Structure 1
Amino acid sequence: MTRPAINSGPLDALLVTRNLPPLRGGMERLCLHIALSLSNGGYNLSVIGPEGCAAHLPAPVRVREIPYRPLVRFFIAASRAVCVAARRGPVVVIAGSGLTAPFAWFAARSTNARFVVYLHGLDIIARSAVYQFFWLPFIRRADLILVNSDSTGRLAQMRGIQKNRIEVLHPGTEVPGPDAEARRLFREEHGLGERPVLLSVGRLTPRKGLAEFIKLALPAILAQHPDAVFLVIGADADDAARPASESQLERIFRAANEAGVSAALRVLPPCDDAMLTSAYRAADAHVFPVLDLPGDVEGFGMVAIEAAAHGVPTVGFRVGGVPDAIVEGVSGSLIEPHDYGGFAVQVSHWVGQGGRPMLQARCVAAATGYGWPRFGERLHSLLGALLGNGA
């Protein structure tokens, strides 16, 4: 079978993913921007995604929604959907994560299209014998492997993927302008006043290490900044492919009670983008105490880039792809794993500089290199090279 002809007209592309809004998380935002970049960049895009995703995609995109849980139901629906979508004859099929690689491979194979997979980290090292045995061979067959960080690229090579087919494509972020009024209003609404605010954003999973941070670092920070507030915005990741067996929110409250710091803890549920932007602007430091857990990994650390885009420095452990997201001494600090004393010292350091215009400007400058427009440009460049045209 010959490959579909590539000409100067719009090209058909198919994106197969479980990770799109209305589900929340960094993978969901990234896959949304893959879809937006393709649709806005001249591709006739079809998407197979989770129920409710059509409302978040532009009108020209052809969407087939399928149930995202339980996983067995998702797999069955995805198998049927790719058979239908492949009839359009896409020239490239993209799996939004390793989880959908077999379905994307089938669609690409049936039309002799190019096959691309975007890997996030966990989807290459998942501790499942079935996944490692069945899914990895499909991932290895991809014509192009996009990875979110150098760390994920190394993990992919360790799983037998050829280096010459791996390309790093960092996730992006919006870079809003300063808004002192939004900072004031958020602090006023939540009774924060002028207290130092430490912020954590994202789905609550064991890997995020928030309970450990509260027990092992927050008391030392409060000794230096007694009126500081630790603001957590997030909820248990109940919609994850493999939800945690224990509520992380309950662990966080229990840790705060045991450490005697409950008065400094505030928890807000997941919020819309406007409120999240205001929360970033209200913060003095973003904490990212990710743990290096067997069979789990932080592929990149998109929230660190988002914090920097709002002028807020991040303190994080040097694990997984986090070093790709923090510019040492500019947009935050990287701490060796398990050094909670050093973590507390650096958080106190950045809190002491909170709100300074020069610090904010350096953080924003570091984040600008990760803007979504640059993400789209590189995605189109890589796909153009793969397809042998100027896409």
Structure 2
Amino acid sequence: MNKQRILIITRNLPPLVGGMERLNWHMADELSKYAEVKVIGPQGSAELKPQSVSLSEAPLKPLPLFLFIAACKAVWFALRWKPDVILAGSGLTAPIAWLASKLCGAKSAAYLHGFDITVQDKIYQRLWTPTFKKLDRIIVNSTPTKQLAFAAGVPETKISIVYPGVSLPEHAQPDAAIAAFRQQHGLVGKKIMLSVGRLTTRKGLKEFVEQALPAIVQQVPEAVLVIVGEAPKNSLGAGIQNREEIEQAAAQQGVSEHIKFLGVITDKTQLATAYEAADVHVFPVRHIPDDPEGFGMVAIEAAAHGLPTVAFATGGIVDAVAHGQSGYLVEKDDYPALAEQTVHALNSPLASEGATEFAQNFAWDKFGIKIAETCR
């Protein structure tokens, strides 16, 4: 029997850094186990593509040029290769997937995150969002994103939830590596609150520093907020919080000595060491109706390394944190409660086994099976 042919169109792939980029890479990789997969992606992504995937590039910038070249290539693949399914890696490329599918009779689909639906841009809402209703299948990353898609007019029968996946570690990091990490960054004897991700307005680190960190260090003087990540350079629509703003907030609150920036860590072993050296992962995502957190993959990544997460119960984070098992959820925007729960997590740690057990549900191979089933 001939393998199914799947064409993926996305701007979100490495070397761009972020959760959507990791998801699209793994989506292509996992689907290639069940189908013949070709991808249209941004310039620079071919060098980092999954081995069993064929990838054709379009210029990353400017955005209109990427969309035009991606559309031209999608039409060419539709007419010459005749895929069975054309899948948009985000809402941005959904119109291209729909158009190309009409040329070859393929099924059309898109994997949507919360911001794909709520982005407040008049042109996008007028031209892009209506396309979602025309696609054969909409795949969403969480229960709240499903609700957003339904509110946007997508029939519920077309919507499938497939949670993002996680790379499960094969083994724990050696004690010597963790000790070296603490020594290198001046964290010996400290309680580490880890934050991993891009510095955007939605992630809320500045507000966490202003409204929660002072109360935490008052009760746990050895607590240090260790930040892995930086402001995004090529993200579309995300408001930015830069390092200087966060440092200024810390200085105003008198907690500058309790913050340490490590920048972006792309090496998997180094990032695993950071997770396993930490005492708690803090995820103070703000509730912004027009910019929701679609899922919260970093909470699953932390859980995979046995690290609990303390977060606001907003957006898709409610699906990414199992309260009392892989961490704690508090009412959105309740910073005193967030501080109190973080202190509790530092002083009375959850068993790491509960977090790792929860993370097992999100292994990439399970994600791949569900995506493949949806594409069929």
Normalised by the shorter chain, which TM-score bucket?
A: over 0.9
Per the alignment, residue 211 of structure 1 pairs with 206
Q: Distance in 2 between matches of 1:334 and 1:74?
A: 39
Q: Give 5+ residue unaligned stretches, structure 1.
A: 1-7, 385-391
Name the CA distance, whole Å, in 1 between partners of 2:52 and 2:351: 41
Secondary structure of residue in 2 paired with 1:93: strand
Q: Which residue in 2 is equivalent to 1:35?
A: 28
Of the three residues 252, 255, 258, the one matched with 1:258 is 252
Counterpart mapping for 1:1-391 below 5 A: 8-41=1-34, 43-86=35-78, 87-176=80-169, 177-181=171-175, 182-244=177-239, 247-272=241-266, 273-354=268-349, 359-384=351-376
Q: CA deviation at 1:158?
A: 0.4
Q: 1:278 Cα shift?
A: 1.1
Letter in 2 for 1:308: A
Offset at 1:39? 1.3
Paired residue secondary structure (2:271):
helix
8 A contact 2:201–2:241 mirrored in 1 = no
CA distance in 2, matches of 1:91, 1:77: 21
The alpha-carbon deviation at position 81 of structure 1 amounts to: 1.7
In the aligned structure 2, how far is the partner of 1:144 from the partner of 1:280?
36
Task: Tell me the distance in 2 between the aligned counterparts of 1:60 and 1:317.
Answer: 39
CA deviations over 1:266-319 (Å, ceiling 9, x no partner): 011111122111111111000111111141010000000000111111011111
Secondary structure of 1:312's partner?
A: coil
Judge conservation of contact 2:8–2:86 (CA < 8 Å) in 1: yes
Aligned mates of 1:180, 1:118 — CA distance in 2:
37
Write the letter of the residue equivalent to 2:104. T
Q: Over aligned residue pairs, what C-alpha RMSD do you find? A: 1.3
Conserved in 1, the CA contact under 8 Å of 2:25 and 2:50?
no
Deviation at 1:103, TM superposition (A): 0.8
| TM-score under structure 1 length normalisation | 0.92
Q: Percent identity, aligned pairs only?
A: 42
- Alpha-carbon distance in 2 for matches of 1:336, 1:49: 38
Whole-angstrom distance in 1 between the partners of 2:310 and 2:238: 26
In the alignment, the residues of structure 1 paired with residue 31 and residue 100 of structure 2 have an alpha-carbon distance, to the nearest angstrom, of 18
Name the SS for the 2:290 alignment partner.
Answer: coil
Aligned-pair CA distance for 1:241: 1.4
Aligned residues: 372
Deviations 1:137-182 (A, max 9, x none): 2111111110000000000000000001101000011121322423
| Preserved contact between residue 305 and residue 326 of structure 1 (Cα < 8 Å) | yes
Unaligned runs of 5+ in 2: none
The 8 Å contact of residues 71 and 241 in structure 1, kept in 2 or not, is answered as no
